[in-house]
């Protein structure tokens, strides 16, 4: 079963970290990613640029509109993801708990919609 | 028979369906309809529960064959094996209710990924066989709302792949309190009902005690489980003394032991002693001291948060 682990965290958090703390966080992410790869569960992972670089597109009444910034003002923003393949939700939760950002942000676990899943 | 065996039969059927609730429930409902029809004409079979389970299982096998849901060879082989057994053999096989099926069911219903209200509703619906309307009354919500809640929860179990199993040891201590909490909420709802005319809902109290008993049978070494059963039995022993002849709440000062349901009390003492003998309560193992079950914990905590209608007489 494939799951997307969406990493939500307050972007403002990173501004409060000094170089050492940032290095420590990146090191923790490196270790986590390595563990995930070794287990064979990792399909892909990416870190995203902050929402200040985001562009939001909507099409209304046939007219496309591209605007600056994220969709809504929220405290936490999606900062990256891991796409994993594990046996069940319990295993996905176990990996999500180990993501370093889970200690100051949150991890949303979403099952991937497989082609044979019912619509609706 | 229906209430007592429903959860056990359903639990084993869900396992047979690979952890899927809906087909198991449909097959059980079908089998129940066949049973009512057949039994009224032919009389009760020797083992009614096993009979119903066997019929439901056959329905599932037939359904799987027709739809070819599981097309791969392994599943075909399994169907061949299940279909090849004769009637008596199926009944004999069905007769053995593996206890851990019910445990699997309650741990799945109380999975932390499900909303708390959904955990309680699912447990009552699947393990206790309570109908949607009965649960909706307990929750003070419309039947349609409750039905929707159950559908959503079952859908999440299926689509997020919440495993149908007793959690492995490393997760067990973390997950057990949710299960005990749900059982205790069911009891409390019965002890000081927020819905209906009666102060005490005996059906809910009995269901909770029955679940508590099942848990003690299945997890004999778990002290918290025995403690919870002891607590429920002790309070249940005072059940009849809590109301006067007219069914109104009676003041504790005027209560006498006369109306106490004394027969449950010895069992409560046994449970309580068993709990004391067990090593340390699961929930408190990581803490320095165990928290005793004191009457304080009985303060009515309701399913809905609505005020309980305790009206003490002066």
> Residue B306: inside a domain, yes or no?
no
Smallest Cα distance from B70 to chain A, Å = 12
Smallest Cα distance from A96 to chain B, Å = 13
Between B90 and B265, where is the model more confident? Answer: B265
> Residue B303: inside a domain, yes or no?
no
Smallest Cα distance from B26 to chain A, Å = 18
CATH architecture of A2-111: 2-Layer Sandwich (3.30)
pLDDT for res B217: 83
Instruction: Say yes or no: ipTM exceeds 0.90.
Output: no
Six-digit token string for B159: 């689509």
Put simply, the answer to whether B161 touches A88 (Cβ < 8 Å) is yes
Give, to the nearest 10 degrees, the angle between helix B21-42 and helix B2-16.
130
Of A90, A93, A117, the CB nearest to B159: A117
Among the candidates B68, B97, B126, a domain finishes at B97
Instruction: Assess A88–B contact: CB distance below 8 Å, yes or no.
Output: yes
pLDDT for res A32: 98
> Residue B83: inside a domain, yes or no?
yes
Put simply, the answer to whether A111 touches B161 (Cβ < 8 Å) is yes
Put simply, the answer to whether A89 touches B162 (Cβ < 8 Å) is yes
Q: Which residues of A touch B167 (CB under 8 A)?
A: 90
pLDDT for res B251: 60
Residue B294 has pLDDT above 50, yes or no: no
Name A100's Cβ contacts closer than 8 Å, sequence gap at least 6.
A25, A28, A29, A32
Show me where the domains of chain A are located: 2-111
Count of domains forming chain B: 2
pLDDT for res B47: 87
pLDDT for res A67: 84
Q: Do residues B226 and B275 share a domain?
A: yes
Q: Do residues B80 and B7 share a domain?
A: yes
Six-digit token string for B50: 């096993």
Name B263's Cβ contacts closer than 8 Å, sequence gap at least 6.
B237
Q: Do residues B13 and B154 share a domain?
A: no
**Residue ranges making up the domain that contains B50:** 2-97
pLDDT for res B214: 83
Q: Do residues B63 and B112 share a domain?
A: no
CA–CA dist B305, B194 (Å, integer): 9
Q: Do residues B152 and B72 share a domain?
A: no
Six-digit token string for B281: 């309560």
Q: What is the mean pLDDT of chain B?
A: 75
Q: Do residues B242 and B272 share a domain?
A: yes
Instruction: Tell me what the mean pLDDT of segment A22-51 comes to.
Output: 96
CA–CA dist A41, A58 (Å, integer): 35
pLDDT for res B182: 87
Q: Do residues B191 and B269 share a domain?
A: yes
pLDDT for res B263: 56
Mutation target vs A (from B22, B160, B164; most A CBs, 10 A cutoff): B160
> Residue B68: inside a domain, yes or no?
yes
Closest CA to B37 of B50, B23, B51: B51
Residue B161, SS3 per DSSP: coil
Q: Do residues B122 and B251 share a domain?
A: yes
Q: Do residues B73 and B194 share a domain?
A: no
Q: Which of B47-51, B170-174, B223-227, B241-245 has the least mean pLDDT?
A: B241-245
Give A58-97 pLDDT, tens digit per residue.
899 999 988 887 766 778 999 999 999 999 999 999 999 9
Give B150-165 pLDDT, tens digit per residue.
999 999 999 999 999 9
Give B113-130 pLDDT, tens digit per residue.
999 889 989 998 998 888
Q: Do residues B59 and B180 share a domain?
A: no
Q: Do residues B67 and B132 share a domain?
A: no
pLDDT band at B314, cuts 50/70/90? very low
Instruction: Assess A114–B contact: CB distance below 8 Å, yes or no.
Output: no
Instruction: Assess B83–A contact: CB distance below 8 Å, yes or no.
Output: no
Smallest Cα distance from B104 to chain A, Å = 14
pLDDT band at B224, cuts 50/70/90? very high
CB B109 within 8 A of CB B123: yes
Q: Which of A1-10, B6-15, B18-27, B302-311 has the least mean pLDDT?
A: B302-311
Closest CA to B15 of B84, B107, B88: B107
pLDDT band at B252, cuts 50/70/90? low
Surface of B (89-128) touching A: CB under 8 A: 111, 113
End-to-end CA distance of chain B: 42
Q: Do residues B43 and B152 share a domain?
A: no
Smallest Cα distance from A4 to chain B, Å = 11
pLDDT for res B130: 83
Give B73-110 pLDDT, tens digit per residue.
555 555 555 554 444 444 444 444 455 688 899 999 99
Q: Which residues of B touch A88 (CB under 8 A)?
A: 161-163
């Amino acid at each position: 079963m494939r799951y997307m682990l969406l990493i939500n965290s307050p972007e403002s958090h990173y501004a409060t970290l000094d170089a050492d703390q940032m290095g420590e966080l990146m090191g923790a992410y490196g270790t986590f990613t390595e563990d995930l790869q070794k287990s064979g569960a990792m399909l892909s992972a990416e870190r995203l640029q902050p929402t200040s670089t985001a562009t939001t597109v909507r099409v209304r009444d046939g007219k496309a509109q591209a605007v600056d910034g994220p969709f809504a003002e929220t405290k936490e923003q999606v900062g990256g993801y891991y796409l994993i393949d594990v046996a069940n939700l319990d295993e996905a939760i176990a990996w999500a708990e180990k993501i370093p950002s889970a200690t100051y942000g949150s991890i949303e676990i979403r099952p991937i919609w497989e082609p044979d899943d019912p619509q609706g | 028979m229906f209430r007592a065996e429903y959860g056990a039969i359903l639990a084993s059927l869900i396992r047979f369906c690979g952890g899927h609730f809906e087909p198991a429930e449909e097959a059980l409902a079908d089998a129940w309809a066949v049973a009512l029809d057949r039994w009224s004409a032919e009389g009760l079979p020797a083992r009614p529960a096993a009979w119903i389970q066997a019929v439901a299982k056959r329905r599932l096998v037939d359904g799987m064959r027709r739809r070819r849901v599981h097309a791969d060879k392994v599943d075909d082989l399994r169907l061949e094996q299940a279909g090849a057994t004769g009637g008596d053999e199926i009944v004999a096989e069905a007769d053995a209710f593996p206890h851990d099926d019910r445990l699997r069911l309650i741990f799945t219903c109380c999975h932390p990924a499900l909303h708390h209200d959904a955990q309680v509703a699912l447990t009552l619906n699947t393990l206790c066989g309570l109908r949607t309307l009965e649960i909706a009354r307990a929750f003070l919500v419309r039947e349609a709302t409750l039905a929707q809640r159950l559908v959503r929860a079952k859908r999440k179990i299926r689509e997020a792949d919440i495993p149908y199993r007793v959690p492995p040891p490393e997760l067990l201590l973390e997950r057990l309190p949710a299960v005990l909490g749900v059982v205790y909420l069911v009891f409390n709802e019965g002890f000081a009902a927020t819905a209906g005319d009666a102060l005490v809902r005996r059906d809910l109290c009995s269901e909770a005690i029955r679940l508590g008993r099942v848990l003690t049978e299945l997890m004999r070494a778990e002290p918290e489980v025995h403690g919870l059963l002891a607590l429920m039995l002790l309070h249940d022993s005072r059940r009849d003394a809590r109301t006067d002849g007219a069914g109104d709440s009676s003041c504790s000062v005027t209560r006498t032991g006369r109306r106490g349901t004394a027969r449950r009390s010895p069992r409560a003492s046994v449970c309580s002693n068993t709990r004391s003998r067990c090593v340390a309560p699961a929930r408190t193992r990581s803490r320095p001291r165990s928290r005793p079950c004191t009457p304080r914990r009985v303060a009515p905590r309701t399913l809905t948060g609505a005020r309980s209608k305790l009206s003490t007489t002066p």
